Structure formats: C-alpha cells, structure tokens
Amino acid sequence: MKIESGLRKIIVFEIALPMVLLIIGIMMGFLQVLYRAGIMRSDSFLGISYYQGLTLHGAINAVVFTTFFAVAFGHAVLRFHLNKPLIESAAWASLVLMTAGTVMAAIPMLTGSASVLYTFYPPLKAHPAFYIGLVLLVVGSWVAFFSWIPTYAAWRRENAGRKSPLAVVGIFATFIVWFIATIPVAIEIIFMLIPWSLGWTQTVNVPLARMLFWFFGHPLVYFWLLPAYVMYYTMLPKLAGGKLYSDFAGRFTFMWLVAFSAPIGIHHQYTEPAIDSTWKFVHAFFTLLVAIPSLVTAFTLAASMEHGARKEGGTGLFGWWRKLPYLDANRWLFSYLFAGLFIFIFGGITGIINASYSLDNVVHNTAWMPAHFHQTVAGPVFLAYLGGSLLLLSSLTGREIAMRKLNVWIPYLWTLGIMTFSTGLFIGGVNGEPRRTNMGLSYANPNSPLYQASWKLPKYLGAIGGTIMTIAMLCFFAVFFATMLGRKRSEGALDLPVSEALHDEDVKAVRSFRPWLVAAALLLIIAYTVPFLDIARAKYEGAARFIPGSPVAQQ
Amino acid sequence: MLEKRILIAATIFALAVAGTIAMTVRMFGIGLPTCLTDVRPFREGKVIEQGPKRYEIHYVARMWKFEPAQIDMEPGSTADVYVSTADVTHGLQIVGTNLNLMAVPGAVNFARVKFDNAGDYLVVCNEYCGIQHHNMAAHIHVGAKPPAPPPLAAAEQQPVLEKYGCTACHSIDGSPSIAPSFKALYGSKRTLANGTVVTADEAYLIESITKPDARVVTGFEAMPSIDVAPADVHAIVEMLEKLK
C-alpha cells in the first residue's frame, strides 16, 4: 500500500534512531556479564562506570527502544489496517517530543549524573533533566495515541457493524494499557521527584513513590508485550502458511490484558514494608489471572502453526512440527516470532513462580529476576521488535533485506545466548547472587574478603550466554544497517503480512473496549484504594536527597 | 460453549494455585515480610538476646554497610529481624535462608528466620544503593556460643567519621575492606599506583580527603569526592593521628 511520504519518514526515523542507540545499550549489556563474572574487575570501562552502564542498558533497551517502536508500529498498523491517512501533524509532534525527551534524559545519563538505574528509586536522586526527559518521552507517545482516536472513530462510523481489524484492537489495547500505566508514574515524577530533585521540596515519601512506580511498572511490561502479541496473532499464522485458529482468542487476550494488567503491581513489592500482607495476596491472585491470556495465546498460536504445517503436508501427532518454515529466507519474520515464543515458555513459567507470593521470597532481587525478564522482555518482545523494525524498514524504504541467509539464523543464535545466560542467572539467583551488582569487585573477585567461590559456574554461564547474545546482535546490526544503506529496489510502500481467521467467531463481549475499561477501573479501585490509604495514614518520614557517589545527604 | 468451559477451568486453576500459596505460607510458617506501621525507624543496629536461642536483631542498612556487621548465634536459634535504613533503599538477604527484606526509607520491615544449621551466613544488600553497593554485606556466624562483644570502637565515639560515612569503607580496627584501614595509617609509608612511595603525613591526608583522585594508593579505587567542611578535615586528620 502506498502511504504519505511524511508518515513514511516519521516511521523510518522512529525505527532507526533507537536502533543506533541500541548499539550502546547492547554493548553496555555485554560489559555487564563480563563485570559480573569477574572477568573485568573494575569500576568502569572507557570512563563509563558500571552502574552508569547499567542505567544506560535499561533505559535504552527497555524504555527508549520499546516506546519508539510501539509508536512507529502503531502508526503502521493503523495506517495499513484502517486504510485511512493519519493526522500527520500529531505524528510529527509526537516524534519531536519523544526525541527531545530522549536527548534530554541521555545527557545526564552519559555524563554520569543520573546513575540511578532505569527504575530511578528515590531517594537516590538523578539530575532533574533525566526526569523531565522521561516525561517528554511519555507525553510524546500519548500525543500519538490521542491522534489515532478520531481516525479510528471515523473508521467505525463508516464501517458500522463490521468488526474492527484485530491488529487495530491490539494496538489500542497496547496504548490503553500504556495510558493507565503512565498516569501514576507521571504523578510520581511530576509531583514528587522533579520538585524534590530541583530542591523545591526537601524530602520525598518513599513508600508512596514506590507504590506509584509499581502501579506503572507492571502494566509497563504488558505495554512491551502487546505489540509482540499483535504480530503473533496477525502475522505469525500467515507466515506459518495457515490461518489464525481463533479470532476470538486474540480479542479476548487483548481485552483481558486491558482489564487485568494494572491491578497487580504490588507483586513487585512482596518483600517491602508499608503494605499489608492481605493486599499483597490480593495482587498475587490477580497476577495469576493475568497469566490466563498468555496461556490462551500459547495454545492458540500452537494450533495456528499446526494448521499451517498440516496444509504444507505435515502429519502425525508431532510430525507436523517439521513442516514449519524455520529457515525460509522468504518468510524470515517467522524465525523471529517463533524463537521469541520458545523463549517465552520459560519466561512465562518463571513469571508464575515469581508471582507466587511465598516463592518470590527466595528469588526477590536476586540474579533470578533479570533471568526472568530477559526471557520475557529480551525474548519474545525484543525479537518481535527487531523483526518488526526490519520489516518496516525494508518495506517502507523499498530495500531488500541484506544478508538473507544470516538474517534467519539471528533469532536462533539469540535464543541459544539467552537460554545459556538465563540458566546461569537462575542458578545464581537461587543461590543468593544479587542482581544489579558489580560482582567483579567483590563476590566474583578472589582478592576480596566477600569472594563467593560457589557462584563461579553460574557467572561463567552468564558470561558465555551474554557473549553469544552480543554476537547475535552484531549480526543483526550488520543486517539492519546494510539493508538501510543498500540499493533502493522499489518506491517503498507499507506491506504487512495479514492472517485470516480459521474460526471467525463474533462474540459481543469483545467488540467494544467499554465494558473492559469499566472492569479495569473497578479492579484498580479494589486493588489499590486500601494500600494507598494505609500509606497516607501512616505518615512516613520523608527521605532526603542522596546521590550514588556519596553516603552523605545532599543539600 | 467451549470458551465458557475453558474460562471456568482457568479460573479454577488460578484459585487452586492461589490456595496452594496460602496453604504453604500457613503450613510452613514462611516468614513473609510484614507491615509494621507502629515501629519508628531506628538508627542503631543491635542484637538483643531475649532468651535461650531467641534473638531480636535490629539491622540498620546504610551506604554501604549493615550494622551490626557480624552476629554470632547458636544452631537452632530463631531471630526476629527488623530492618531500617539510614539513607537510601537497600535490600537485605540472608543467603541460604528464606529471609529477603527490603529496607525502605521511612518504614521498618520485619520477618522471622530460624537457623537450623551451623555455618557462616552471608548477608547481602540486593538492591542498588550507590557506587559501593557491591561491597555492602554482613556476616552471621551460627556455631558455638561466642565470647562477649568487644567494647565500642573508637570511631563510634567520633561523630565526625560517622557524619561523612567514612567508616562505610575505612575500618578503624585494621580489618581489610574496600578502602585502606584508618588504623596505623597516619605517618605510614604508602605505595601509589604509579609505584612511588609517599608518607601519609598531614599534607597527604588533607589532599586525599579534599582531592581523592590526586594520589591513589595501589590496589584501591579512588574515593568518591565528598564535600568535607574545612574544620572537619582537620578533625578527621586529628582522629587519624589518634588511631596511629
């Protein structure tokens, strides 16, 4: 489909800018595994300190790259599936705001005055520009979302009675979840952290800030996951040569995540004071309910792939698995989506372990946690986003994908890396290895009084896995930038694979967001009213400003 | 309808898992972190022996150490652990047990742990708390009953060292740490990273406090720069002279 050249430029920019930043983010990740294994025993490398690098790794990979991709992908899906021009001025405004925010937050991170990690827990304080930059990035993504609403409303009026395209429902679910999530964190940053970091207020209520942060922190992961789900439901069956087994399953998954992704944030706070155990348990229960759509997705996609494989001649109870296009360079996106799904099996199971209140006690804040979220965010999400970026780039710029043979292998290499890496971190975590820790200077340093000899094997597995992941990403960057700089073959158009539905059910309950938004509001009221009242009533003493480099409170 | 049956089955599954969690918590008495709104945050770490094999521990987490740093108990002891923080957010995990607590500014956290087996337990900070986070740890020794603890160390009578958090990294009793010990430092010969040998006299010590990265002793990282008031610089140097 031909699209407006303005929108094309916007999408390509929103894909390419974070990809350049991602080079820094990936290199910082590689350094982490070397530091942690004790291979590098230093507090910095090339002037970038360990914790500064860790901040860059999280902020670029998990915040900047994801937000830019979600907006760019949203533009593409809406333009393609609604077949209506978008409000281009709003898309430009969104781009400018997000880029300005990224630059503003990047300067203090790169100069070392915001080494507070991407979760920026107070009372560790970053430079005010870091917080303001984050706000601009989020507001920029809101602008894009709001600008889609009138376009979608117009489509609904013109197509009364027709079901909305599944991909569009998925994108709206993504951004509804994002909007719900970002309100509490905006309150935390704008009303608590910015005035406090500027010195206008002297102290900050940390239990309140933490509860607002995690009110945001969990739906955030569904904001990351949902664009990947859109690709799974609307592209993967087609790439596998079949049809989506159930259209209803997709719609149900999106709606259920709208309702249940937010009232569960306290499952990140099980080991914290200031929250009653009863409410921790309520959040644990709601968390298990949010595992349902992921299980629905796993079975629906397996059925869809089976449908494709059988059409291509696959037989037997398990024999059809051989007929999937694992290494088909013409359907290269299949390998990205399939590898991600494989990793997600383990990421999902460990997620259920973490959500189980009593089990979390053993693994909370240990290396187990980064292993889990690398199998989720750096698994299905990251691979889908890489594949999606490459798809949009080659389609919109009219360039063929470079190094086609290498390209289909990248996701499998990444899978090997991430499975090795996380096996090491899982073992280490169960044995008490802390996360976010420069172990090369203490627990992994034989010269330190804190040296832990028994943590050696898991650390080396982490380093080996991390190295494989880095190699996979170097291959990806080569493919991506060679494609970008390659010769133009055609004018450039927007083309996305579209799966038909095998069972195209029409279930009234999932035709409108309205009942699910009401459910989301009710669940949030149930889940959060009492915990917030408890914190307000307890009147916790405020915390002063601290910077990472000094044990003395700052003026 | 198939979907309805699937939904019912899924709900039963979720309820069963939630029920199992509730049951394990009750049956095994796992010491889940408990909200304590009626305890004021404390600033003094201590161990209270409440009876035979019954202890109450008040851990203060601060950048970048736990107080008390070393605790001794007999095997079979039960400890009520209270955690408070003097500065930023920390985590406290006793490796090899189920005790895993966050120290959040403004609130006190609590859990109970029983040490069935003798051994040396490592207590790690598992939440990022600044540039020396990786060196923030403490120890619990579970074995035969220990002798009475030594009298209060000199630095704890010297508020100037506490004021700037010096003892987070510099020990005062000569024990090894991430920074040179203050004991017998004054007047000693120090080898720098470039191989030259200097005497740690008053001028060198003042320079090391005010410009930490000027002349760094070999084997150590440069100290983060801390804004010490001029009067306090001299108080610290006097203190080091006393520890000679």
**CB–CB contact A432 B122 (8 Å):** yes
- Model pLDDT for residues B43-56, shown as the tens digit of each residue: 889 999 999 999 99
Nearest CA in chain A to B101: A271
Do A190 and A133 form a contact (C-beta atoms < 8 A)? Answer: no
Do A96 and A516 form a contact (C-beta atoms < 8 A)? Answer: no
Cα–Cα nearest to A381, from A13, A62, A33, A32: A62
Q: How far apart are CA A186 and CA A314, in angstroms?
A: 51
Tell me the two tokens of residue A250.
């997709």
Q: What is the ipTM of this complex?
A: 0.90
Tell me the two tokens of residue A109.
């991170």
Query: How many residue contacts between A and B have a Cβ separation below 8 Å?
Result: 210
The one-character DSSP state at A554 is B
Q: How far apart are CA A75 and CA A92, in angstroms?
A: 11
A446: exposed, middle or buried (Cβ count in 10 Å: 0-12, 13-18, 19+): exposed
From A54-58, A480-484, B3-7, the region with the lowest mean pLDDT:
B3-7
Average pLDDT over residues A251-262: 93
Put simply, whether B214 touches A (Cβ < 8 Å) is no
- Work out the minimum CA distance from A284 to partner chain B, whole angstroms: 8
Average pLDDT, chain B: 82
Do A479 and A410 form a contact (C-beta atoms < 8 A)? Answer: yes
Nearest to B93 among A210, A270, A365 (CB): A365
- Model pLDDT for residues A199-249, shown as the tens digit of each residue: 999 999 999 999 999 999 999 999 999 999 999 999 999 999 999 999 999
Nearest to B33 among A270, A356, A542 (CB): A270
* Residue in this structure with the two tokens 């696959």, named with its chain if needed: A314
pLDDT score of B155: 47
Q: Which residues contact A46 (CB under 8 A, 6 or more apart)?
A: none
**CB–CB contact B131 A115 (8 Å):** yes
Query: What's the Cα-to-Cα distance from A293 to each of A301, A382, A383, B17, rounded to whole Å?
Result: 12, 20, 20, 16
**CB–CB contact A432 B177 (8 Å):** no
Judged against a pLDDT cut of 60, whether residue A280 lies above it is answered with yes
CB atoms within 10 A of CB A534: 17
The continuous run of DSSP H or E covering B113 comes out as strand B108-115
Antiparallel, parallel or unpaired: β B137-142 and B70-73: parallel
Nearest CA in chain B to A205: B106
Q: Which residues contact A291 (CB under 8 A, 6 or more apart)?
A: A348, A351, A352, A355, B14
pLDDT score of B145: 67
Do A71 and A94 form a contact (C-beta atoms < 8 A)? Answer: yes
- Model pLDDT for residues B11-26, shown as the tens digit of each residue: 888 788 778 877 776 6
pLDDT score of B157: 57
Average pLDDT, chain A: 93
Residues 93-132 of B with CB under 8 A from A: 93, 95-96, 98-102, 104-110, 122, 124-131
Nearest to B105 among A362, A435, A543 (CB): A543
The two counts, helices (H) then strands (E), for chain A are 18, 4
Facing residues of B113 across strands? B79
**CB–CB contact B163 A450 (8 Å):** no
- Work out the minimum CA distance from A311 to partner chain B, whole angstroms: 25
Q: How far apart are CA B23 and CA A465, in angstroms?
A: 38
Q: How far apart are CA A6 and CA A94, in angstroms?
A: 13
- CA atoms within 13 Å, Cβ hemisphere of B51: 3
- Work out the minimum CA distance from B220 to partner chain A, whole angstroms: 10
Put simply, whether B23 touches A (Cβ < 8 Å) is no
pTM over 0.80: yes
**CB–CB contact B89 A546 (8 Å):** no
A87 — pLDDT class (breaks 50, 70, 90): very high
The one-character DSSP state at A434 is B
Residue bearing the bigger pLDDT, B148 or A228 = A228
Give chain B positions within 8 Å (CB) of A43: 131, 221
The continuous run of DSSP H or E covering A481 comes out as helix A456-485
Judged against a pLDDT cut of 90, whether residue B168 lies above it is answered with no
Judged against a pLDDT cut of 80, whether residue B82 lies above it is answered with yes
Q: How far apart are CA A312 and CA A241, in angstroms?
A: 7
- Work out the minimum CA distance from B117 to partner chain A, whole angstroms: 16
Which of the residues of A are catalytic?
218, 222, 372-374, 435-436
pLDDT score of A232: 96
Tell me the two tokens of residue A441.
């200077």
Nearest to A272 among B17, B104, B177 (CB): B104
A509 sits in the region (left: phi over 0; alpha: psi -120 to 50; else beta) called: alpha
Cα–Cα nearest to B39, from A273, A533, A122, A210: A273
**CB–CB contact A365 B105 (8 Å):** no
Residue type, B205: L
- Model pLDDT for residues A438-453, shown as the tens digit of each residue: 998 889 988 888 899 8
- Model pLDDT for residues A186-195, shown as the tens digit of each residue: 999 999 999 9
pLDDT score of B35: 58
**CB–CB contact A121 B125 (8 Å):** no
Nearest to B224 among A124, A507, A549 (CB): A549
From A103-107, A142-146, B96-100, the region with the lowest mean pLDDT:
B96-100
Nearest CA in chain A to B83: A273
